[in-house]
Structure formats: structure tokens, C-alpha cells
Amino acid sequence: MPHLYLHVPFCRRRCTYCDFSIAVRKRIPARDYVDAVLRESALVLESSPGWANPGAVPRGSSNATPLLNTQVGKSDGSLDTLYLGGGTPSLLPPDAISALLTPLRDAFHVTSSRDAVEVTLEANPEDVKPEIAAAWRRAGINRVSLGAQSFDDRVLKWMHRSHDATRIGDAVRALRAAGFDNISLDLIFALPAELRRDWARDLDLACSLLPAHLSLYGLTVEERTPLARWISRGAAAAPDDERYAEEYLLAHLRLAACGYRFYEVSNAERDGHRSRHNSAYWSGRAYWGLGPAAHSYDGRVRRWNLAGWEAYRRAVVAGLPPVEAEEVLTEEQRELERLYLALRTDAGLPHAACPPDRLTAWVGEGWVEVEGERVVCRPEGWLRLDALVGDLTGAGRAV
Ligand code: SF4
């Protein structure tokens, strides 16, 4: 079943650590965005051997064209997941989200009950208000991923986030009242030591809100970010590996005590609330991406769109595919990806894919465990994923 990603590039300002492809805007050009994405979806459905159902045309797109009667892989043309990521998708007004989702549902023949499709919206806590949450629910959103990052106002300020800690709980409560039970929180760990961030407290406060899902990301320093500039002039310390490992392992302990289970290196769920969309990426399934900088993958070719909002928009308005480039993965590259993807999730590697001497060494170090026919990483293994894959490919020895 297909998976569709929509990249919404707009943000009010840039966070300290962020190098994503975003367009910082005071006023969000929602109508132009909806029009552009629907135009792109029509182009994709027309030109890609792929995905659609005969005769379906996205309504609301001024150059919508009939779709090809073709199929991707096992696709029955019906969506399984749709993910609005960014950027800050919650900056789109609810009527724009509805204007986007309704024609896409028609185009991708969503005939099953609305909640059979996982529809995720990434949101910043300050954008969640009771009436807006209710409108999102009416538009068909059934999962919200909140960029909480920390419950410490000092840290949020340092990150250049536009919410304070109280907004996170308010947002969760507003979402629940609107009928959302599938709520995920993002947190960032391994912050520079001088911030004296209390990571255990942040984990406990996150757990106290009982989200269905948590995503934990270690801070990385990307080029051309405010953080990289601070570090280069000595105004901030570079994040260190020891802190990263300590905080990562602490998260495993703390979250397990609260009933969460890591099913991927950075993601934990309770009561089976895995992200179906991200799980599709991690199991190597095909997906389509629409919007600036969005990536698509058909199992062999990876393709990505122009990153700049204006360049993207100009291309689709001119009726041109907004694709910047594509790469055809070699069998070797696909095998390497399969190894990474298998080891990063709790699906693990088939036993037979792991040479016996490596397996013995890894189990001895406490990096993996054997579950039936699978070799699955323990948290200590997830901390050295690159080394484990290097060990398997001959690129280096992990032990
Ligand atoms: S809100 Fe998200 S996408 Fe926007 S600048 Fe901050 S981290 Fe980047």
C-alpha cells in the first residue's frame, strides 16, 4: 500500500540546530502551497508509472489530468499512510489542510474508513488550540507529532523555539479533547553541557503526559546553523559522545519503566502505537513525496524535489516536474541500506546474515541479542550502528 509524504516548508523562524529546507515566513502562503502540491500530485499521477487508479483526478488542481491505469508494486492504489512533515505543517490553516487532503484522498482512492489511513500532522505546541485541533480532526488528521523538545523554558529559548513548556501540556490536552489518542512527542537530547539540562526530568514530564509515542533525537551540529557558528567561535561547547551515550541509555531505562518500548533506534511506543508511516521507510517500502525538498523512492530509484519553495512553485506552475535529481541505487547500495534498516529496528537481521564469529562477539559485548531467528540490537548496539554495519560489510571491525 502506498505511503505519501507532504513537505510543508514554512516556519516562523529557524531553530538553533536546524538545517532543514524551510522557508521562514511571517505570512504563510497557504493557498499557493495547496495549489502547488495539488499541481504536483497531478503531474506525478500523470507521468509516473505508478500508483494511481484510472480516472481519478485531484479536484482543486487547475491543471489536473487523467491518471494512468498503472500500479506500483503491490499497491492497490489506496493510501496506507499520509504524513505532513516540515517545516511546520501546523502553520497551515485547517481549511488549507482540508483543501489539500480532500482531493488527495479522492486521487489516491481512499475508500476505506477515514481512520484506516494513518494521517499524521507535525505540529508545534503553540499552534495547537482547542478549535484548531477539532478542525484538524474533521479534516482527517488522526495522529499528531508534537515538537516538544524540552520542558525547560531556558532550554527552549536556547533552541530558539517559539513555545514555552506549559504549551506542551496544553497542546496534549487540547488534542485529547478533540479526539486524538495517537499523539507523539519529539525530544532532543545530548545538549551542550553548559545548558545543564535535566534530561531525566524532561523524560519524566514527557511520560507524565502519556503520549502514545516518543521520538528522541540526539543533537547533531549541522553546517550553516546558528549552533555551528556558536561552536566555531567558542560560544557553545560541541555535544560530546559520552553525554550522548549516557542520555540515550537513561532514556531506555526511564521509558521502559513507564511502559514504552523502543521499536527503532530513536522511537518508542506504548500499546502498539508505532508510526506506520516511518515504519514503511524503515522496512524499505516505496513512498512518494510531494512539496519542496520531498523525497520519493520506488524500491530502486530515489528522487528528490527542488528544495527552495519559490523554485519548486515556479516549476509546478509551469507544468514541469519539480524534481532536482535522482539516483538509481546499485544492488550494493540497496544491500547496505537493508542492513542498516534491519538493524535500526526491532525487526533485526536474519540470523543467517550475521557471520557466526561476529555474532558471538556482538552478543559477548552486549550489543545484540538473538530473538528466535533474528539478531536484534540492544540499546548499546544502537549506539554503534555504523560500526556494526561496518563489521558486516568489511569496512571495519566493531570489536
Ligand atoms: S520548527 Fe522544525 S523545521 Fe522549523 S526551524 Fe525549527 S526545527 Fe527546523
Look at phi and psi of residue 396 and say left if phi exceeds 0, alpha if psi is from -120 to 50, else beta: left
pLDDT of residue 244: 96
pLDDT of residue 55: 36
pLDDT of residue 68: 25
How far, in Å, from the CA of 88 to the mean position of ligand 1?
A: 7
CB of 146 shorter than 6 A to ligand 1: no
How far, in Å, from the CA of 24 to the mean position of ligand 1?
A: 10
Which long-range contacts link 127-130 to residues 24+ away (Cβ below 8 Å)? 127/88, 127/90, 127/91, 128/90, 128/167, 128/170, 128/171, 128/174, 128/175, 129/174, 130/174, 130/177, 130/178
Q: 225 pLDDT exceeds 90?
A: yes
**At 200, is the pLDDT very low, low, confident or very high (cuts 50, 70, 90)?**
very high
Tell me 376's DSSP state.
E
pLDDT of residue 65: 29
Look at phi and psi of residue 160 and say left if phi exceeds 0, alpha if psi is from -120 to 50, else beta: left
Q: 131 pLDDT exceeds 60?
A: yes
Instruction: Return d(Cα 263, Cα 381) in angstroms, integer.
Output: 13
Atom of ligand 1 nearest to the CA of 14: 5
Instruction: Return d(Cα 127, Cα 11) in angstroms, integer.
Output: 12
Mean pLDDT of 236-254: 94
Amino acid found at 47: S
Which of 14, 24, 161, when mutated, tests ligand 1's pocket best, judged by the most ligand atoms within 8 Å of its CB?
Answer: 14
Instruction: Return d(Cα 53, Cα 23) in angstroms, integer.
Output: 33
pLDDT of residue 62: 38
Share of the chain above pLDDT 70, in %: 90
Q: 165 pLDDT exceeds 80?
A: yes
Q: What are 313-360's pLDDT values in tens digits?
A: 999 999 999 999 999 999 999 999 999 999 999 999 998 889 999 999
Q: What are 44-86's pLDDT values in tens digits?
A: 888 765 554 433 333 344 333 222 222 223 334 678 999 999 9
**At 17, is the pLDDT very low, low, confident or very high (cuts 50, 70, 90)?**
very high
pLDDT of residue 46: 84
pLDDT of residue 374: 95
Kindly report the protein residue whose alpha carbon is nearest to atom 3 of ligand 1: 87
Cis previous bond, 87, omega within 30: yes
DSSP-assigned states of every residue in 122-134: EE-GGG--HHHHH
pLDDT of residue 56: 38
Q: Do residues 254 and 202 touch, judged by C-beta distance below 8 A? A: no
pLDDT of residue 50: 54
Mean pLDDT of 175-197: 96
Place of cell 530502486: 300
pLDDT of residue 51: 52
CB of 20 shorter than 6 A to ligand 1: yes
pLDDT of residue 111: 66
Mean pLDDT of 131-139: 97
Average pLDDT over the chain, rounded to whole?
Answer: 90
Atom of ligand 1 nearest to the CA of 12: 4
How far, in Å, from the CA of 148 to the mean position of ligand 1?
A: 11
CB of 8 shorter than 6 A to ligand 1: no
Mean pLDDT of 347-374: 93
